[in-house]
Amino acid sequence: MAATSMEQLVSLCKRRGFIFQNSDIYGGLQGVYDYGPLGVELKNNLKAAWWRSMIYERDDVEGLDAAILTNQKVLHYSGHEDTFSDPMTDCRKCKGRFRADHIKDGKCPNCGSTDLTDPRPFNLMFKTNIGPVDDGSSFGYLRPETAQAIFTQFKNVVDSTSRKLPFGIAQIGKSFRNEITPRNFIFRVREFEQAELEFFVEPGEDEKWHEIWKEERIKWWEEQGLKRENINIYTTPENDLAHYAKACYDIEYQFPHGMEELEGIANRTDYDLGNHTKAQDEMNLTSHCHPNNDSTQKLCIMNDNNKWVVPFVIEPSMGVDRGVLAVMTEAYTEEDLGEGNSRIVLKLKKHLAPIKVAVIPLKKNNAQIMAKCHEIKKNLLKLGIGRVALENTGNIGKAYRRHDEVGTPLCITVDFETIENQPESVTIRDRDTMEQTRVNTADLRAYLLDYFNK
């Protein structure tokens, strides 16, 4: 089977309503995308799977949903104001602007000119005025990572939940980076979502937990449908680590444009909690505490030996948009059906499918058949399996093809037999095998519960 190309995905996403260019009618906004009717379902399903695995299936993680607007001081003491930058180079000939590390052989990627400026740092954070006066004196940032609010709310979460080490705080939300060269569809964008876990551990236990989380996260991605052979674990060399990290694994995926980072798993040590804490000699806190911090809190916790410690942090941080791109890349399949026929089928894991079941009437606008379709849809919704779509196009073949393309695992067809014969029955068609099974409507509930809980 040929590898999925970016063109195939972009085309499917637009054609079927997964992802659109933002501000499209005005020529678009570079590096910003909108999720359409099916994209929002797929993205929500991926986030729900992450939340479930982090919060509901574990007993050592709490959730958080913090604001996007961030006090300047947070990003000052976190080190982002000083160090969160990429080297940028301008082409003097075509005036193009590029990340210096994306330039090959000293040539402009746009026009090939070698007349380039020296690289200089470009801060990636979006700065914004806060309040009614725009004189530059009152500003904040759109957060460049969701993590910082987890650190600044550490004490409030600990105090309100009585947590002991090890434990984590997880969050899903928007992050913003003024990327110099957004590219590869939703892979590198300026507004994106992250799902981040900050897992706090006793200093000295960090390396053990780093390994544990690496394995956990590979397993989770496989559960989302990614084949292990398409995943690579990249150990970031020391000279390439983020300013806060002591070590980092990247979970890389074979995207259409190459093997690239899908998720980072960093050992952030006590860097962040320490930097948001003013050094407190009487508590013997560790070295990263800041001598002159303005923070009002000591972000530490009492350990089992009644000693105050600033915990170390292991951080699995996934890009939700990159996750959507990865599961779509993996699921996209073109099948030759013989005799000149073919189909596109999105073989998504069923828990990720935007539409779980399509209810399709054999005949368009037939009152009796439509009434039965409505009744079946209403009953299926009660199962809580997700979106159930009702079709009324009157063309079964076309409906099957369309639902294959968007990854709907099951189509239920209501025909004349359904309304005329007893016991009442429907046809269930499986997306992957295309097999059709006749099932009594009285057994539908059990059939679907069994199918979706498997």
Binding status of residue 86 toward ligand GAP by CB under 6 A = no
Contacting residue, 140, 173, 256, 264, with ligand GAP by CB under 6 A:
264
Neighbours of 18 (CB within 10 A): 27
User: What is the distance between the alpha carbons of residues 179 and 101, in angstroms, rounded to a whole number?
Assistant: 13
Contact 316, 217 (CB under 8 A): yes
The values of phi and psi at residue 113, to 5°, are: -65, 150
Binding status of residue 313 toward ligand GAP by CB under 6 A = no
Binding status of residue 189 toward ligand GAP by CB under 6 A = yes
Neighbours of 175 (CB within 10 A): 20
Q: Using CB under 6 A, which of the segments 125-133, 258-266, 303-311, 355-363 binds ligand GAP? A: 258-266
Contact 179, 73 (CB under 8 A): no
Binding status of residue 322 toward ligand GAP by CB under 6 A = yes
Whose CA is closest to 172, among 151, 188, 196? Answer: 196
Q: Using CB under 6 A, which of the segments 312-320, 354-362, 400-408, 427-435 binds ligand GAP? A: 312-320
Binding status of residue 147 toward ligand GAP by CB under 6 A = yes
Q: Which is nearer to ligand GAP, 319 or 361 (CB)?
A: 319
71: buried, middle or exposed (CB in 10 Å: 19+, 13-18, 0-12)?
middle
User: Measured at CB, which residue is nearest to ligand GAP?
Assistant: 319
User: What is the distance between the alpha carbons of residues 286 and 407, in angstroms, rounded to a whole number?
Assistant: 51
User: What is the distance between the alpha carbons of residues 347 and 352, in angstroms, rounded to a whole number?
Assistant: 10
Q: Using CB under 6 A, which of the segments 60-68, 319-327, 350-358, 393-401 binds ligand GAP? A: 319-327
Q: Are strands 357-361 and 341-346 parallel, antiparallel or unpaired?
A: unpaired
User: What is the distance between the alpha carbons of residues 169 and 218, in angstroms, rounded to a whole number?
Assistant: 20
User: What is the distance between the alpha carbons of residues 195 and 49, in angstroms, rounded to a whole number?
Assistant: 11
Q: Using CB under 6 A, which of the segments 52-60, 62-70, 262-270, 371-379 binds ligand GAP? A: 262-270
Binding status of residue 4 toward ligand GAP by CB under 6 A = no
Binding status of residue 249 toward ligand GAP by CB under 6 A = no
Question: Considering the complex, what minimum distance in angstroms separates the CB of residue 393 from ligand GAP?
Answer: 36
Number of shown-chain residues binding ligand GAP (CB under 6 A): 19
Q: Which is nearer to ligand GAP, 196 or 202 (CB)?
A: 196
Q: Using CB under 6 A, which of the segments 10-18, 41-49, 257-265, 335-343 binds ligand GAP? A: 257-265
Contacts to ligand GAP by CB under 6 A:
145, 147, 177, 179, 188-189, 192, 194, 196, 261-264, 315, 317-319, 321-322
